[in-house]
Amino acid sequence: MIFTIGLRELKSLFLSPLAWSILAVVQLILAYLFLGRVEVFQMYQSQLMAMNNAPGLTEIIMPDLLGNAAIVLLLVVPLLTMRLVAEERRNRTLALLFSAPLSMTEIVLGKYLGILMFLLILLALIALMPLSLLAGAGLDLGLLASGFLGLALLLASFAAVGLFMSTLTQYPTVAAISTFGALLLFWILDWSGQGAAGGNWLAHLSLFDHYKPFLDGLFDSADAAYQLLLIATFLVLSIRRLDADRLGA
């Protein structure tokens, strides 16, 4: 049933112009940034060839591309998750879900799976940009895989936060603004914690701080565990919130 709900959510996304608009706009923005980095590499290619231990094509292009992708998708994910539960509540169809022979866990995981599948499609389209360079250049596939794994975990975390915010209101716009505020806080914690006294403990609370090592090709199980724990936490909170709604209905 989880997979069925997920497919239903994915189909409903593609039936709306919003999903297609997001795919187009994100691709256009990131393609422009990607081509800009390729141009920079071409400008300095002769100088790089004369250097010892010079950074390769992947090191010059990939971290910048995926770093910018994280910021762009921070703005986009709230638009995708805002309707997951809020629209059901606004249209008074949430009661139908509650009356179905489904547990709250199945409903939440199904909706989460639907948005996750859409984000993975978006991620695959972004991956085609650097992979297109394989036609005429060599790439560090390990660095590339690490970066996209980090971005996948980051997007999964964004989606979990957005789903929870959507369970708190019947207004999709409010859910979108709340999700954006929460994700922006994670970003602010990252750079504000860098100058904090007594260590960078504020930065360690940020999703972006645990995303950066992936861009450098470093897979740390602690970084992955933090993001997985955050995902699980917000999914559990979403389940409890819907359980409270069902008991109060």
Q: How many domains does the chain have?
A: 1
CB 31 within 8 A of CB 37: no
- Helix, coil or strand: residue 219: coil
- pLDDT given at position 249: 53
* Nearest CA-CA partner of 171 in 75, 77, 108, 91: 91
Spatial CB neighbours of 247, under 8 Å, sequence gap ≥ 6: none
Global confidence as pTM: 0.91
Quick: pLDDT tens for 47-62.
666 666 666 778 888 8
* Nearest CA-CA partner of 146 in 54, 204, 213, 207: 213
Q: Tell me the C-alpha to C-alpha distance, in Å, between residue 54 and each of 12, 44, 136.
A: 47, 11, 19
Based on its alpha-carbon atoms, the radius of gyration of the chain, rounded to whole angstroms, reads 20
d(CA 14, CA 134): 30
Domain that holds residue 238: 2-248
Whole-number mean pLDDT of the chain? 87
Quick: pLDDT tens for 88-103.
888 887 777 777 788 8
d(CA 30, CA 123): 11
CB 6 within 8 A of CB 119: no
Region 215-222: mean pLDDT is: 87
Region 28-33: mean pLDDT is: 94
Q: b/e per residue, 81-92, with b = 16+ CB within 10 A?
A: bbbbbbbbbeee
Quick: pLDDT tens for 111-153.
999 999 999 999 999 999 989 888 877 788 888 999 999 999 9
- pLDDT given at position 200: 66
